[in-house]
Amino acid sequence: MSVLIGKKAPTFTADAIIDGGKDAVIKLSDYLGKEEIVLFFYPKDFTYVCPTELYAFQERLSDFESRGVKVFGISTDTAETHWAWLNTPKNNGGIQGITYPLIADVDKTISMKYGVLGGDFFYNDKDELAFEGDAIAFRGTFFIDKEGIVRHQYVNFFPLGRNIDDTLRIVDAWQHFQEFGEVCPANWSKGDDAMKDNHESVADYLSKH
Protein backbone atom coordinates (compact mmCIF):
# COMPACT_ATOMS: atom_id res chain seq x y z
CA MET A 1 0.00 0.00 0.00
CA SER A 2 1.22 3.47 -0.87
CA VAL A 3 1.86 5.91 1.96
CA LEU A 4 0.65 9.26 0.65
CA ILE A 5 0.96 11.32 3.84
CA GLY A 6 2.63 14.65 3.11
CA LYS A 7 2.38 14.11 -0.66
CA LYS A 8 0.20 15.66 -3.32
CA ALA A 9 -3.04 13.76 -3.69
CA PRO A 10 -3.16 11.87 -7.01
CA THR A 11 -5.50 13.65 -9.39
CA PHE A 12 -8.10 11.99 -11.58
CA THR A 13 -11.06 12.59 -13.86
CA ALA A 14 -13.94 10.11 -13.63
CA ASP A 15 -17.65 9.64 -14.19
CA ALA A 16 -19.82 10.12 -11.12
CA ILE A 17 -23.36 10.39 -9.86
CA ILE A 18 -24.08 13.58 -7.93
CA ASP A 19 -27.07 14.94 -5.99
CA GLY A 20 -28.49 11.43 -5.65
CA GLY A 21 -29.07 10.80 -9.35
CA LYS A 22 -27.42 13.18 -11.83
CA ASP A 23 -24.63 12.15 -14.21
CA ALA A 24 -21.44 14.19 -13.90
CA VAL A 25 -17.71 14.12 -14.44
CA ILE A 26 -15.57 14.76 -11.38
CA LYS A 27 -12.15 16.36 -11.77
CA LEU A 28 -10.31 16.30 -8.48
CA SER A 29 -8.12 19.15 -9.72
CA ASP A 30 -11.22 21.40 -9.70
CA TYR A 31 -11.28 21.11 -5.89
CA LEU A 32 -7.61 20.86 -4.94
CA GLY A 33 -6.29 24.13 -3.59
CA LYS A 34 -9.81 25.37 -2.87
CA GLU A 35 -11.49 22.96 -0.46
CA GLU A 36 -10.53 20.32 2.04
CA ILE A 37 -11.60 16.87 0.90
CA VAL A 38 -12.50 13.53 2.44
CA LEU A 39 -12.16 10.87 -0.25
CA PHE A 40 -13.31 7.44 0.86
CA PHE A 41 -13.09 4.18 -1.05
CA TYR A 42 -15.48 1.29 -0.46
CA PRO A 43 -15.53 -2.22 -2.00
CA LYS A 44 -18.82 -2.67 -3.87
CA ASP A 45 -22.33 -1.40 -4.44
CA PHE A 46 -25.22 -3.63 -3.36
CA THR A 47 -23.32 -5.19 -0.47
CA TYR A 48 -23.78 -5.24 3.31
CA VAL A 49 -21.22 -3.18 5.25
CA CYS A 50 -20.87 -0.51 2.54
CA PRO A 51 -24.35 1.04 2.88
CA THR A 52 -23.88 1.41 6.64
CA GLU A 53 -20.78 3.48 5.94
CA LEU A 54 -22.38 5.55 3.17
CA TYR A 55 -25.35 6.38 5.37
CA ALA A 56 -23.05 7.17 8.29
CA PHE A 57 -21.23 9.73 6.10
CA GLN A 58 -24.60 11.13 5.01
CA GLU A 59 -25.71 11.52 8.64
CA ARG A 60 -22.62 13.61 9.38
CA LEU A 61 -22.48 15.36 5.99
CA SER A 62 -23.66 18.71 7.37
CA ASP A 63 -20.89 18.53 9.98
CA PHE A 64 -18.27 18.06 7.26
CA GLU A 65 -19.80 20.79 5.10
CA SER A 66 -19.94 23.25 8.00
CA ARG A 67 -16.18 22.78 8.29
CA GLY A 68 -15.69 23.45 4.58
CA VAL A 69 -14.96 19.81 3.74
CA LYS A 70 -16.15 18.13 0.53
CA VAL A 71 -16.99 14.40 0.80
CA PHE A 72 -16.58 11.98 -2.13
CA GLY A 73 -17.33 8.26 -2.15
CA ILE A 74 -15.68 5.99 -4.71
CA SER A 75 -15.73 2.34 -5.74
CA THR A 76 -14.81 0.29 -8.81
CA ASP A 77 -18.46 -0.01 -9.83
CA THR A 78 -19.83 1.78 -12.89
CA ALA A 79 -21.73 5.06 -12.68
CA GLU A 80 -24.80 3.15 -13.89
CA THR A 81 -24.51 0.78 -10.92
CA HIS A 82 -24.14 3.74 -8.57
CA TRP A 83 -27.30 5.22 -10.09
CA ALA A 84 -29.25 1.99 -9.66
CA TRP A 85 -28.14 1.66 -6.03
CA LEU A 86 -29.03 5.29 -5.31
CA ASN A 87 -32.51 4.63 -6.70
CA THR A 88 -33.06 1.57 -4.50
CA PRO A 89 -34.80 2.22 -1.16
CA LYS A 90 -32.86 1.64 2.03
CA ASN A 91 -35.20 -1.16 3.16
CA ASN A 92 -34.40 -3.01 -0.09
CA GLY A 93 -30.64 -2.77 0.39
CA GLY A 94 -30.22 0.49 -1.48
CA ILE A 95 -28.77 3.89 -0.58
CA GLN A 96 -31.60 6.19 -1.59
CA GLY A 97 -31.09 9.56 0.06
CA ILE A 98 -27.29 9.76 -0.32
CA THR A 99 -26.51 13.20 -1.76
CA TYR A 100 -22.72 13.49 -1.95
CA PRO A 101 -20.94 12.43 -5.17
CA LEU A 102 -20.22 8.75 -5.86
CA ILE A 103 -17.31 8.30 -8.26
CA ALA A 104 -16.91 5.35 -10.64
CA ASP A 105 -13.38 3.94 -10.75
CA VAL A 106 -14.21 1.41 -13.47
CA ASP A 107 -10.68 0.91 -14.76
CA LYS A 108 -9.35 0.73 -11.17
CA THR A 109 -6.64 3.32 -11.84
CA ILE A 110 -7.74 5.64 -9.03
CA SER A 111 -7.71 2.79 -6.49
CA MET A 112 -4.25 1.85 -7.74
CA LYS A 113 -2.96 5.43 -7.46
CA TYR A 114 -4.17 5.61 -3.86
CA GLY A 115 -2.78 2.15 -3.05
CA VAL A 116 -6.11 0.62 -1.98
CA LEU A 117 -6.82 -1.89 -4.75
CA GLY A 118 -7.27 -5.32 -3.17
CA GLY A 119 -4.79 -7.10 -5.42
CA ASP A 120 -2.14 -6.61 -8.09
CA PHE A 121 -1.73 -6.84 -11.83
CA PHE A 122 1.16 -9.02 -13.02
CA TYR A 123 2.45 -10.83 -16.12
CA ASN A 124 2.12 -14.61 -15.95
CA ASP A 125 4.51 -17.18 -17.39
CA LYS A 126 2.87 -16.72 -20.81
CA ASP A 127 3.60 -13.00 -20.67
CA GLU A 128 -0.10 -12.28 -20.33
CA LEU A 129 -1.42 -9.55 -18.07
CA ALA A 130 -3.27 -11.11 -15.15
CA PHE A 131 -4.64 -10.09 -11.77
CA GLU A 132 -4.22 -11.72 -8.39
CA GLY A 133 -6.48 -10.84 -5.46
CA ASP A 134 -9.79 -8.98 -5.23
CA ALA A 135 -10.10 -6.36 -7.95
CA ILE A 136 -12.07 -3.99 -5.72
CA ALA A 137 -11.04 -1.27 -3.30
CA PHE A 138 -10.29 -1.71 0.38
CA ARG A 139 -12.03 0.70 2.77
CA GLY A 140 -9.54 3.55 2.34
CA THR A 141 -10.08 7.02 3.79
CA PHE A 142 -8.02 10.06 2.79
CA PHE A 143 -8.15 13.61 4.15
CA ILE A 144 -6.70 16.16 1.74
CA ASP A 145 -5.97 19.75 2.78
CA LYS A 146 -6.58 22.96 0.82
CA GLU A 147 -3.15 22.74 -0.77
CA GLY A 148 -3.92 19.29 -2.15
CA ILE A 149 -1.69 17.48 0.35
CA VAL A 150 -2.78 14.20 1.97
CA ARG A 151 -2.75 14.76 5.74
CA HIS A 152 -4.44 11.56 6.88
CA GLN A 153 -5.05 8.09 5.51
CA TYR A 154 -6.14 4.77 6.86
CA VAL A 155 -7.24 1.55 5.22
CA ASN A 156 -9.49 -1.23 6.51
CA PHE A 157 -9.85 -4.76 5.17
CA PHE A 158 -13.19 -5.59 3.52
CA PRO A 159 -15.18 -6.81 6.58
CA LEU A 160 -14.15 -3.90 8.84
CA GLY A 161 -16.37 -0.83 8.70
CA ARG A 162 -14.74 2.50 9.45
CA ASN A 163 -15.56 5.08 12.11
CA ILE A 164 -16.90 8.23 10.46
CA ASP A 165 -16.86 10.19 13.73
CA ASP A 166 -13.11 9.65 13.91
CA THR A 167 -12.71 10.99 10.37
CA LEU A 168 -14.49 14.14 11.53
CA ARG A 169 -12.21 14.25 14.58
CA ILE A 170 -9.20 14.21 12.24
CA VAL A 171 -10.66 17.16 10.33
CA ASP A 172 -11.14 19.05 13.60
CA ALA A 173 -7.58 18.27 14.73
CA TRP A 174 -6.07 19.49 11.47
CA GLN A 175 -8.15 22.66 11.46
CA HIS A 176 -7.24 23.31 15.10
CA PHE A 177 -3.55 22.96 14.25
CA GLN A 178 -3.94 25.28 11.27
CA GLU A 179 -5.71 27.95 13.33
CA PHE A 180 -3.80 27.83 16.60
CA GLY A 181 -0.52 26.06 15.79
CA GLU A 182 -1.22 23.58 18.58
CA VAL A 183 -0.72 19.84 18.16
CA CYS A 184 -3.42 17.40 19.23
CA PRO A 185 -2.61 14.56 21.65
CA ALA A 186 -4.09 11.06 21.84
CA ASN A 187 -7.89 10.88 21.93
CA TRP A 188 -8.18 14.63 21.36
CA SER A 189 -11.64 15.89 20.39
CA LYS A 190 -12.83 19.34 19.41
CA GLY A 191 -12.99 21.54 22.50
CA ASP A 192 -10.26 19.64 24.37
CA ASP A 193 -6.95 21.23 25.34
CA ALA A 194 -4.17 20.82 22.81
CA MET A 195 -0.40 21.19 23.14
CA LYS A 196 1.80 24.09 22.16
CA ASP A 197 4.32 22.67 19.74
CA ASN A 198 7.92 23.29 20.88
CA HIS A 199 6.72 25.33 23.84
CA GLU A 200 4.94 22.97 26.18
CA SER A 201 6.67 19.79 27.27
CA VAL A 202 4.83 16.49 27.34
CA ALA A 203 5.43 16.36 31.11
CA ASP A 204 3.82 19.80 31.58
CA TYR A 205 0.83 18.82 29.49
CA LEU A 206 0.31 15.50 31.28
CA SER A 207 0.65 17.16 34.68
CA LYS A 208 -2.51 19.17 33.90
CA HIS A 209 -4.49 16.16 32.80
Q: Judge contact between 135 and 119, C-beta under 8 A.
A: yes
Residue 20: Cβ-neighbour burial (10 angstroms; 0-12, 13-18, 19+): middle
Q: What is the DSSP string of 153-200?
A: EEEE-TT----HHHHHHHHHHHHHHHHH-EE--TT--TTS--EETTTS
Distance separating alpha carbons of residues 57 and 3, to the nearest angstrom: 24
Q: 42: helix, coil or strand?
A: coil
- Residue 50 annotated in active site: yes
Cα angle for residues 101, 102, 105 (degrees, 5° grid): 135
| From 14, 28, 32, 50, the catalytic residue | 50
**Which positions are annotated as active-site residues?**
50
